[in-house]
Amino acid sequence: MSQATEIRPPGRLPERPSRARRPESDGPCGAAPSPTHERRRRHFVEMLAVSTLGLVVWTILLGLTLPTDYRVHAWRTTWVGFDVLLLAALAATAVLAWHRHRAALMASMATAVLLVCDAWFDVSLDFGTPAIWASAALALFVELPIAALLLRRVYGLIQLKWPAAHPAIHQQTERAEP
């Protein structure tokens, strides 16, 4: 039996399978979640919602009360410490990815977040100084693209590992296609 190969224009990716929604199944292997699991999930989501609202209030309060200028006594320690943390995250991501370890997903996410934070602090703290141009260039051409690449790779790996549709639904969809 010969396999038909799809001919497509160069640079065009094959279409993804449809993402049918699972019917009332959030549990492992498509099983319905237990009441305990559902209660924990609901409490977790509620905690996140309350935390989000609290952070909105806290951010407004800080915006209204923080001084516009502040002298920092441990500036060097703060930045060197942050860069050491970023270095450790980058190294961990590289080593875990090299070994194809699933923890590379978490390391990649942490590294991406640290890169975005580094770009934000560099640009916002250099705003209004001549150093803004170097900070903006580093953010736009190095830190943010690497963070985006890491996040895109994590998203792609998650899509491979956990398909959106229940396997039985996916098989029914494949059979129904001409």
Tell me the per-residue pLDDT of 44-102, one tens digit each, with 9 for 90 and over.
999 999 999 999 999 999 999 988 888 888 989 999 999 999 999 999 999 999 999 99
Average pLDDT on 155-172 reads: 66
The whole-model pTM stands at 0.69
By residue count, the chain amounts to 178
How many CA atoms lie within 13 Å of 152's alpha carbon, on the beta-carbon side? 6
107-139 per-position pLDDT tens digit: 999 999 999 999 999 999 999 999 999 999 999
Torsion of CA 62, 65, 69, 70, to 10 degrees: -80
Give the span between the Cα atoms of 158 and 92, in whole angstroms: 19
Q: In the numeric block, which tokens belong to residue 62?
A: 């800080």
The whole-number pLDDT of residue 154 equals 93
How far apart CA 20 and CA 164 sit, in angstroms, is 7
Burial of 9 (0-12, 13-18, 19+ CB in 10 A): exposed
Q: Would you say 128 and 177 are in contact if contact means Cβ atoms under 8 Å apart?
A: no
Eight-class DSSP state of 166: -
Residues 6+ apart with CB under 8 A from 120: 139
